[in-house]
Amino acid sequence: MSRIADETRLNTASLYKEFGSKEGLFEATLENYQKNHLESFIRPLIEQPGMKGIEQCPGNIIDGAEIPDFKGCQFMNSLAETSGTWFRVSPG
């Protein structure tokens, strides 16, 4: 939390007030990631069921991985960082 506070120039009290805990911040971050990034990767599977959607999905993943500051899947990185101790998936 202190690194996030330093990077954002906010104090930790403000972060805890907004998110409640480190887990609350992780959860908000993952919800944002799902809404703004992950959905574009899986959209072809929803909009074009069958092989057409499946064929398009890897291209979207590769496009995302080519972004210069890409550091992997945020869901998997968060799961690894927390050792799965609090991670939960709720239906979208």
Q: What is the pLDDT of residues 12-34, one digit of tens each?
A: 888 888 888 878 887 888 888 88
Specify the pLDDT at position 90. 55
How many angstroms separate the CA atoms of 5 and 67, rounded?
A: 25
Query: CB-based contacts of 82: which residues, under 8 Å, 6+ apart?
Result: 23, 26
Asked whether residue 37 carries a pLDDT value surpassing 60, the answer given is yes
Which residue has 């239906």 as its token pair? 91
**Beta-strand runs (E) in the chain:** none
92 assigned to some structural domain: no
40 assigned to some structural domain: yes
pTM above 0.85, yes or no: no
Q: pLDDT tens digits for 42-61?
A: 777 888 878 888 887 777 67
64 assigned to some structural domain: yes
Query: 72: domain range?
Result: 2-82
Burial class (CB in 10 A: 0-12, 13-18, 19+), 63: exposed
24 assigned to some structural domain: yes
Number of domains in the chain: 1
